[in-house]
Amino acid sequence: MAKTPVSSAVDDIVTEGEDLTHKLGRQADDIIASAKDGADRTVSSVRQAVREDVGHVRDKAVEHAEEAIDSIRDAPIKSVLYAAGIGVIIGLLLSR
């Protein structure tokens, strides 16, 4: 009985439709390799985006705080009555 040579490389075996699989695998490897190269840029851009978002949130918080201060200065008695009413409601809920 004659022995046929067996190839140890899996890539040597080609079946129908496998070309697309290999092509997708190579493209995935290329994407991963390029992602490793650009990882430092991505991290810095994410940090920059987070800093910008924190800045926007800080600006909005300051804006809302200033509006609240202006509202309290415009109607201090009304503000104190609302605060007392909310305090009473919270007290009743917590006492249960």
Tens of pLDDT along the chain (96 residues) come to: 555 555 555 555 555 555 777 777 788 888 777 776 666 566 667 788 888 899 999 999 999 999 999 999 999 999 999 999 999 999 999 998
Query: Which pLDDT does position 90 carry in this prediction?
Result: 96
Query: Which pLDDT does position 47 carry in this prediction?
Result: 80
Query: Which pLDDT does position 30 carry in this prediction?
Result: 80
| Token pair in block for residue 17 | 């439709």
| Cβ–Cβ under 8 Å, residues 7 and 13 | yes
Look up residue 16 and give its DSSP letter.
T
Q: Tell me which residue of 69, 70, 72, 94 sits closest to 82, measured CA to CA.
A: 72
**pTM of the model as a whole:** 0.44
